[in-house]
Amino acid sequence: MIVIMGASGATGGATLRSLAALGAPSRALGRDPARLAASLDERTLARTSVLPVEASDPASLRTAFRGARRLLLTMANGPQQVQYELNAIEAAVDCGVEHVVKVSAPAAEPNSPVGVSRGHHLIEERLRSSGITTTVLRPYAFMQKLLLLAPGIAAAGVVHGALGQARCNYVDARDIGDAAAEVLTRPEPAGGAVPLTGGRAYSYPELTALLGELLGRPVRYLDLSPSELHAHLVDRAGMPHWLATHVVEIQQLATVREETPDDAFRRLTGRAPRTLEAFLAENLHRFR
Ligand SMILES: NC(=O)c1ccc[n+]([C@@H]2O[C@H](COP(=O)([O-])OP(=O)(O)OC[C@H]3O[C@@H](n4cnc5c(N)ncnc54)[C@H](OP(=O)(O)O)[C@@H]3O)[C@@H](O)[C@H]2O)c1
């Protein structure tokens, strides 16, 4: 049995749908099973059993993982993320899970300048010492998160950031789901780390030019200092402080570590990743 922790989320949900498309049954976990089941399309629901889980409660994790051989571990960022994922790993060890696919991030290192990535490093370390075969997926920024820019573009034709001319390796979350499903359904689980990027990296000036072209009106990029961006995200966009700090940290990282596309996705799945142009065209109504 394949169990999906974080099944209502961007990557967990995409993995569930990809598994269903492959005809593979899975068990989806969420804090609100009724809401989770209601969010699934018919084909996915037909292949999925939905169970409750609360990551702060080890007993609920052990119940949810009973009989599982493979686990997708992908959880929301937040102050409790590391503890929740460590709880899940302890339950996976107790339940005899044989293979964990962990959705991590780039720069998951002990001294990473990105706090969330330092947390991912701690989780990966625990997986390494657990004896469970582990595949770490390292996606870059999700294209889906660009939809957060849509209200500012629709209202004022402006994007705020602190990226300068730096490029980002945007990846479609549906490709992360396809990659995870591919790894989870292999007859022999393989460990290792898989960077996940799109086929081309884009700077904000390139992104706004592309959006302007698609929308038929100019979209401006306003380059701010890191502290100005932080204040903008908290005061104007209403982001919690920790999340604004995370956004600023990942933008700062992209300015000092060049992001270039990797062909690991193509090697894993045998096809090219989804493109940013196609994603924006599909979601253009959101930016109008
Ligand atoms: N966003 C990016 O651009 C990006 C880039 C690189 C890496 N990543 C990494 O990707 C990972 C996954 O991101 P995502 O966007 O797929 O996650 P997400 O959609 O924000 O959340 C995943 C799930 O976590 C579950 N969750 C939260 N608290 C829980 C709890 N107490 N008990 C049980 N479940 C709980 C939620 O399920 P319920 O609400 O249904 O319980 C939620 O659906 C993150 O760890 C992030 O660091 C993200």
CB of 202 sitting under 6 A from ligand 1? no
Q: According to the model, what pLDDT value does residue 224 have?
A: 98
Claim to verify: residue 106 and residue 12 sit in the same structural domain: yes
Give CA–CA dist 68/81, Å, rounded. 22
CB of 89 sitting under 6 A from ligand 1? no
Residue 286 Cα to ligand 1 midpoint, Å, equals 23
Strand-strand pairing, 99-103 and 167-168: unpaired
Claim to verify: residue 70 and residue 189 sit in the same structural domain: yes
Claim to verify: residue 102 and residue 232 sit in the same structural domain: no
Per-residue model confidence as pLDDT tens digits over 253-275: 999 999 999 999 999 999 999 99
Per-residue model confidence as pLDDT tens digits over 193-247: 999 999 999 999 999 999 999 999 999 999 999 999 999 999 999 999 999 999 9
User: Is position 266 within any domain?
Assistant: no
Res 190 pLDDT > 90: no
| Residues spanned by the domain of 7 | 2-138+173-196
Claim to verify: residue 29 and residue 102 sit in the same structural domain: yes
CB of 15 sitting under 6 A from ligand 1? no
Res 283 pLDDT > 90: yes
Q: According to the model, what pLDDT value does residue 268 have?
A: 97
What is the percent of the chain with per-residue pLDDT over 70, rounded to a whole number? 100
Claim to verify: residue 187 and residue 253 sit in the same structural domain: no
CB of 8 sitting under 6 A from ligand 1? yes
Claim to verify: residue 226 and residue 92 sit in the same structural domain: no
Question: 48 vs 26, 188, 207, CA distance in Å?
Answer: 5, 22, 37
Q: Which two tokens stand for residue 64?
A: 């949810």
Res 37 pLDDT > 90: yes
Give CA–CA dist 5/28, Å, rounded. 7
Claim to verify: residue 57 and residue 117 sit in the same structural domain: yes
Query: ∠ CA(175), CA(181), CA(185), 5° rounding?
Result: 155
Strand-strand pairing, 220-223 and 158-161: parallel
CATH number of the domain that residue 248 is part of = 3.90.25.10
CB of 119 sitting under 6 A from ligand 1? no
Q: According to the model, what pLDDT value does residue 27 have?
A: 98
Per-residue model confidence as pLDDT tens digits over 141-186: 999 999 999 999 999 999 999 999 999 999 999 999 999 999 999 9
Q: According to the model, what pLDDT value does residue 158 have?
A: 97
CB of 48 sitting under 6 A from ligand 1? no
Per-residue model confidence as pLDDT tens digits over 97-137: 999 999 999 999 999 999 999 999 999 999 999 999 999 99
CB of 54 sitting under 6 A from ligand 1? yes
| Total number of domains constituting the chain | 2
CB of 75 sitting under 6 A from ligand 1? yes
**DSSP letter at 274?**
P
CB of 105 sitting under 6 A from ligand 1? yes
Res 29 pLDDT > 90: yes
Res 139 pLDDT > 90: yes
Q: Report the residue among 36, 56, 71, 77 best suited for mutation to probe ligand 1: largest number of ligand atoms under 8 A from its CB.
A: 77
User: Is position 189 within any domain?
Assistant: yes
CB of 84 sitting under 6 A from ligand 1? yes
Query: ∠ CA(11), CA(98), CA(39), 5° rounding?
Result: 30
CB of 144 sitting under 6 A from ligand 1? no
Q: Report the residue among 15, 72, 75 best suited for mutation to probe ligand 1: largest number of ligand atoms under 8 A from its CB.
A: 75
Give CA–CA dist 187/137, Å, rounded. 18
Claim to verify: residue 182 and residue 54 sit in the same structural domain: yes
What is the percent of the chain with per-residue pLDDT over 90, rounded to a whole number? 99
Q: Which numbered atom of ligand 1 lies nearest the CA of 12?
A: 16
Residue 212 Cα to ligand 1 midpoint, Å, equals 31
Residue 77 Cα to ligand 1 midpoint, Å, equals 6
